[in-house]
Structure 1
Amino acid sequence: MTTYIPQLTLPEAVFNSLPASILLPIALGTAVGYGTRHTPRQYLSLKQPPLRPPPWVFGPVWTVLYGMMGYAAYRAVNIGTSLLNSASTIAAARNGSTLYTIQLGLNLAWMPLFFGLGRPVAATLDIVSLLGVNGYLAYLWGGSVDRTAGWLLAPYLAWLGFATYLTVGVGHLNGWDLTNIAAFGGDDKENKKRA
């Protein structure tokens, strides 16, 4: 079981607003994606495991998943913290809001770890932790607060499982060293010389 930690939790105003709950993870995910430059080219230059999707798939998939996770958070916190609920349901909703915030941070850290720093081991530890936290969050919210909120996290969990496979596969096939890929940023003329 986890504990509600206000200092590690998004403000209640985010969870109480449907647009903010949905748009915040989408906006943060988009900002991290744009902040990690040359990602499609880096991605294609790596040795890949079977079943890897083309780079253009990730943007739309993550946008939908971020929206669903935001809606799940909105539902769980708003339904779960109603004064008509038991103390245990209210606690589960609030504890889940802390877990949700932690998982969002882990989610946003993956791309800079993997592509920005070229650290597949750290990215693997991050995504395995992310998968575990979200598995528990889906269990907590789905079983104790709102079944729909738990099920809204199911596609996210499935995608995280697939992303874990890709992360481990790319790390293994590339000798767990992506430092050359991480350095593949900056001026296009310099990049062509490196390629």
Structure 2
Amino acid sequence: MTTYIPQITIPHAVFANPAASVLLPIALGTGVGFSTRPKDTQNSYMLMKQPPLRPPPYVFGPVWTLLYGLMGYAAHRAITAGMNPLTSSVGGVRDAKHAATLYSVQLGLNLIWMPLFFGVRKPVLALADIAALVGVNGYLTYLFFQLDNVAGWCMAPYMGWLGFATYLNAALGHLNDWKISDEDLRKKKN
């Protein structure tokens, strides 16, 4: 069982407002995406030796926008349902608080992946991050299902994409000898 840690947990007012709950991860994800210079990121991605099934770079923005929106909506549904003492099950308030902390942690792990992989060019650290992200989200999805079935199902596409993203991270790292600086990638192309 996790613990509710108010210092690292997104305030309940965000979860209580459906628009804020949906828009927060979209805005943060968009901000991180633009902070890593999208054109440079796309160019680096295209320089890498690519694994089978890799999507073109233009797919990532729309997919992540949809996934961020779904995870925000799931958090709104699960946490507000769990915090409602009239409709939640025994232990629902406790589980909702745990879920709020886990959601906040997973969002942080999610947001640091791109700077780890494309910013500081550390695919091994990015892989460790995404492995932790999968584990946290597996448990978070379980908690969301306990609080609200729709919220749990809203997390299913995110879990699927995280599995695929883990494959891409590991395959890109392996195929490029875990060195993905532009200089290393250009040397390998020549």
Amino acid at match of 1:154: A
Structure 1 stretches lacking a partner, 5+ long: 185-190
Q: Please give the alpha-carbon distance, in whole angstroms, between the structure 2 residues aligned to 1:49 and 1:149.
A: 33
Structure 1 segment 63-82 matched on structure 2, within 5 A:
63-82=65-84
1:165 aligns to 2:167 (yes or no): yes
Identity over aligned residues, as a percent? Answer: 59
Q: CA deviation at 1:178?
A: 1.7
For residues 9-42 of structure 1, the C-alpha deviation after alignment (integer angstroms, 9 at most, x for no partner) is 0011111111110000000000000010111111
2:138 matched to 1:140? no
TM-score, normalised via structure 2 length = 0.93
Instruction: Give runs of aligned pairs for residues 1-195 of structure 1, distance below 5 A.
Output: 1-37=1-37, 38-84=40-86, 85-142=88-145, 144-180=146-182
Which one-letter code corresponds to 1:124 in the other structure? Answer: L
Aligned residues: 184
Deviation at 1:179, TM superposition (A): 3.0
Deviation at 1:180, TM superposition (A): 3.4
Task: Work out whether residues 44 and 182 of structure 2, in 8 Å CA contact, stay in contact via their aligned partners in 1.
Answer: no
Q: Compute the TM-score of the two structures, normalised by the length of structure 1.
A: 0.91
Deviates more, 1:21-30 or 1:171-180: 171-180
Give unmatched runs, 5+ long, in structure 2: none
Moved over 2 A (4+): none
How many angstroms apart in 2 are the aligned matches of 1:82 and 1:56? Answer: 40
Q: What is the rounded CA distance, in whole Å, between the counterparts of 1:68 and 1:36 in structure 2?
A: 23
